[in-house]
Structure 1
Amino acid sequence: MASSDWIEVQRLAAEFQRAQLSSALQKLSERNCIEIVSKLIELKLIDVFYTNDGKEYVTLDQLSREICDELYLHGGRISLTELVPILNISYHAIESRAQDISQTKPEIHLVSGQLIDDDHLDRIAEEINETLQQSGQITVVELTKQYELPIDFILQQLRSRLGTIIQGQQDKYDQHVFFTDGFLARNRARIRGALSAITVPTSVLSIITQNKLPERLFFAVVEELINTKRIHASLSGGRQANVATFIPDIYSRSQNEWIDNFLKQNGYLEYAALNRLGLSDPKSYCRKRFKETPLLYLSSCCVGSNILEQIEAAIEEALASKSWVEILPLLPSVFDEEDAEQIIQNVLKNSQSLPEKDAIVIGHSSVTSNAFIQNLKPIFNIMIEEKAKEAVASGAYLQAQAGQRNAKGKAFKPEQSNEKKDKKEERRKKANEGKVGGGVQGRETKTRSTKKKYLKGKNDSDEEGEEEFAGSSSGNSELEFMSLDEISNVLRKQESVTDAPDELVEDIAARLYKPLQSSFQEAARIAFEALLSSTSGQRRQTHGELQERVQVLLQSIKQGEKAIEHFSSLDTQQQLSRHLLKTSGSELVNELVSYVSQDTNVANDSKDLSFEARQKIIKGLPQNLRTPLQGLHKATQGANVEEFLTETESALSACDIVLRKVDKKKDKAVASQQRHVLIDQLNAATDYALILHVAALLLFHTVTQTVLNASGRFVPQIITFLHSHLPDSMSELLSTFQGLVIQELTSKGDEELLESVRQKMESLVPQVREAAVTFKKSSTTALHE
């Protein structure tokens, strides 16, 4: 604040005083005084702080004087938080003035929220010096905890008072440590005496522990003694007591002599032995010690040229004699498998006389040649021939081929899938036309070869199929000749590998596995082709029999479809269609699955297959058979006969089954034969419900000229259909007999009623049989039309 401004303030204060001493009319009120001061502060004419109670104003200089006074009263050290209640001023105001004081007065310091002057620091330094003289050394960390001051601040104050208040010196390697000259001299003498008595490598930690030496001072003193030649020794392992080792020169000389003599006599140096001699990094020591000597540095030792020459000679002899050699027994016992492997690689790489490409390293320490391995192959020739014939005879070879094609089929392209789907839709459209020349109702199919091509996929000729089959067998990995263990067992019986280690035998077995497997596959293919040519006549006969059975079943299903169409109820049609597919349809699928499962060697003990058993067999078939048969298999669980016939067409094409053109005369003969079968069943039946069932089917056949495949639960629907096509007397007879059958089934608890019902049915059985057999279609033509 300028002097003129302060004079103005004093003048105003005098006027305020005069005004207050004057009469009441000339005095200023407290509010006016506050407003005037606030205005002065606003105009920055004065700079003051409010007290915490708001009743007083304090100028900056006054606050600074009061802070310095309190610092003096408190012995040169006071916390800013302690000044708040004493001066009744806010902490912010006190902190700002304390910073200004520490900047303007160098003898006062603001440290960690405290004001400390140099007098107080001098007293602290005197206390530290007394402690230092008593203990000999002291650390700044300890002082920080004791005086609650920052470590950097204490370190700065100690350095500034060294040689004056504090009598001592600072450690060169650790700035946080101070010690006295007497302490340094005493410990230098102790360390010099301890090291002078040592004659063998000794851990620094044990030296410090036994002699109770200060670790911080030890390394500095030792380096000084070594550099001044007062102690003839060296330190290894750095400046960490638990790692470093003190090695006297007298021991180093004897150590070097022992190492030189051992290498000369044995040709190698073991790192573990050098560690026992006190060398913490033996590999680096050897590289430095034997710069001019060619050594091979391994994982556990280093080797001289004598041992390498012996190994090279042993390998050269094994390759020349087409034999094998195990290197590890030729090496000293301290060498391990990793060392032997490194020696072999080095010898093969650097030797001028050994052809590296002819040598095969097996395991870690065995060496042989490719010629030796190839000489072992002929011992398996007889076993290959015998096992190939056995695999073909048992069907294992054929099953393996099917499994391989199955695996390949899973990777077919999406375009192929779409193409097959489009063809399937086209076949369904043709089936829906229901005309001759389209669908399955009267299709004409192209005659194709019935040779067993479904084993080879769909080919245009037998020769192409055989070539594809032969090609696939060469890459087959499903059928195994021998496992690695079996090959190893055979090799162990050979005289040339009797003494070989297991690792060598197993590696040779692994190298022979693929060539033997390939030879076995080729032998199996040749044996299979021979068997295939000898059994082709028998296969044609089986194929023809299957075509006949499938033809009959397919005609039966078509007849059943026509019979179902006579019922007007859609629900009845669906139920009858479902029954037809579960009986005749399942029988047709069983015929196809049984036939192809024999050729693909999939387990199948019976043609009477359940839904689950059939599904299991289909899953084991090749892809080209599994997909169409799976669709046909699922269609038997539905109620759509047209879809089943469409799927049948795809399945027959996949199985290479070609049906003959529909013969109408033969179709009529089949219908007539089915009528005779129903008549025989009716005459032989003794159960009343069965008699009613067969009679209803026989009358339905006579009326519609179609054969209906229906179970006993459809008898009410059949009789309801027949009422409009039979004379009243015959309709009444069937209804009466049906009522009696129902009454018999529902009155089993009442013996008298049951006996009466059976007597009535017994009397009506001849009439029902006669009416069913003698009823002619001609008598119902007018009714039917």
Structure 2
Amino acid sequence: MSDWCEVRNLAEKLRSVQTSESTHYLSERICVDIVSYLTKSGRLRLIRTIDGRAFLTENELFKEIIEELAARRGRVSLLEISKNLEVEYSVIESHVHELLSNPYEYLDEQCLLVAGELMTKSFIRRIAEEIRDRLKFRGAESMIELSRVYNFTPQFLASIISDYSGVLFNVHRDGDKLYTQIFMSKQKSKVMGYLSAVVAPISLADCGSKLDIPLKVLSSLIDTLISSGKLKGTLTAGKSLYTPLCYRKAQDTYISDFVKQNGYVEWTTVQRVGIPDPSSYLRSHFPSAIHTKGLTICESTVSQIRAVLEDKALDTSWIDVSHYLPEVFGAQEREWVIKPLLAGTDFIPINNYMYLYSANGLSEHISCFDHFIREQAAVAAAEQKQKACSKPRKSVLAPSEETPTRGFDKKGKSGGFGGRSREIKTKHVKKKYLKRNVDSDEEENKAGICIESYLLRESLLSLLTSSVGADAPEDLIEGILDKLLPRIHETFLSLVKSVYLQTSDSLKNRDRCLAEKDSLVSTILSIQLFERGSLAIDDADLRVQLLRQLIRGEVSTFVNRLYVLLAQNYDVDWPNLATENLPSGKGKKNKQKKRDEGEVALRHSTELNPSDITFQQRNALADLLGKMGDEPTKEASLLVQQINACLRVNTDLSGSGGSLPLDEVFSLCDDLAHSHLGINLSVSVLRSGTAKRKRQDRLLALKIAGETEQQMINAANAEEENYLACVSLAGAALFGQCLAGWPLPAHGKLVPHLSVWITKMLSLPTNTSVPYAAAVNELRAAKAGEQLTRLTELVMQEARRGEDDSMVSGSEKKDLVDQLLSTASRCLRAMESNSRKSSTD
């Protein structure tokens, strides 16, 4: 072992060596070049300081970073390390990331890099313990305050609390606030004590301000207390109002007692008690009661009235409802209560449901007015007849004032038969009509009978009082009279009209009208079949043309027949009078010739065919009836105007097609026939779809098909000038009926279009659901579409060139007609066979 002397000798030798000058040394430049060469060649890894005067190895840098972290107690920023070590920030950052990737190579614990700061796990735990101690001391703390104290972001603090939850923390978080369980228990006790003493609803905002508890925390605490059963009450109005159970029970008791005592409760009363939604409250608490708008009526009140209505031993024919309902009930409330109870009973309401009266008893009282009504009706009819006779009746109308000024349209020669005749040469004339105003004011067009002047209310009340009984209240008798007045007025007017007609010379015309009833009804049935056939066409343009033809032909003729009967009934010289006043275009010679024909030709309107009556003549009839002055003719004039307007609208159907509105026309015709001709057309019954009606329709359709075939045969045998046009028209009508299932209102100008449609339908596969499937197969087998198309082309060629210039021989025409007749015969037989089979099934 060396002693102290030897140590001193060695120190002296070292000092002498250090102070002595060497003959060989390296300059700084050479040292720098050597270090640079070693660094570039990869033999040496060094880190240069910012000032460039020193070098650090990587191990030294890691060591100094760890020393800086330890010196700052586990938390240091990378910027601060760069500044203290005089190394670039990027170099420090890269070496810190390398250090974090292999922490246990240089450190004993894991580190984190958060927001440019390097910190150890032990430091983070220490921060968590400080937060725990801070919460224990204060009970509540905000995240913002903790962020300010520890200079951490709220998100990082939240992650620390989440990592150590259940280990160091047991807190309740509400948004930005942190509460300990001890703090929450204290607040729960405060809420429990405060709300237990509340006897009326209180808002949570007021409660929170008094207890100094945030609203969200308070709401969750109350929810917890209510769900656990410690607090008796409910949260309503979106959890913004606490209502104690005692208050709710007091409300229920008050409402229940009110209903038991009064038998009803108004919703305003429930709202005054403090219930915001009375409808839901009352429906849930009184499900068997009657709930109306603003009122709930107890079942017991309804039961009393129901028992009275169901009482078979009731000795009176009327019931005073005011004895069973509260006085506050108005007419609407009485209706709500009583109206559902009247179903299946014999009672009807009187005087806004103030009384209930037996319907049978009410009908019996009408007989007490019979004698009085007959007497007054006779008086009224006599006065009306006298007024009608005192007014001068114009038999000749001035052309400039009372009749239309348009002349008759000149029509060319037509061929064929009936309404389906084909027009060979027609002069085209455009017709522009002005719309006729039919919505005139009733007070101007109707000088009706003043019923009140004949049926005095005092007289009626006196008769009714003696029938009902003197003990009945006056308002009940007046209410009964109000109920009976419509029937009394209707009976009175009917008697007046009957007496008026019986005293006139129109009774024989009425008998003639009744004889026409069956013919008119049959015509309606045929028109409805034509309507069905037209609507069954799937070609929109063809369907519209067929519907227009139906209105211009069959419907207009039917209406004209009614008008002729109407003119005969009211002794109006129509349509001859209207024809005479229309300019014919031939000057004075023609007019003088008509005058010379005598009174007989002008007197009887039936000499003119109804199908030849024009639209101007129908308007002239409305004018003639309106100028006669008495009430029935004015009513008839108004109906005629409405029917004419419907015919104009229907004739001007747009090209879009659609259902034909014949119901309105027939309804108006039914009103006209029933009110003024004594004929009941029963239009509503004729539209019924019973099995009997369906069979009748099928038979009538087959009858029309048979007539069409016969007309086709007659036209072929006649061999007139235009017999080919008649054959093609009848063939198109028959084949079209076979395909559509119902007759078609065919017309000569529609034959080409119908032929194209028939050919197209026959080219499609047969649908087994069509009415005449077997007949369609016959048409397809015989190539009926091509035959009909060929014949139609021949007709059109002859119409353009003339029969003499025809390029087809007579034998070829005859062969083509014979083929069509044979096809039509087989088609009709198949249709009849199908119809018999359907009837058997």
Same fold (TM over 0.5): no
Higher RCO, 1 or 2 (CA under 8 Å, sep at least 6)?
Answer: 2
TM-score, length of structure 1 as denominator length: 0.37
TM-score, length of structure 2 as denominator length: 0.35
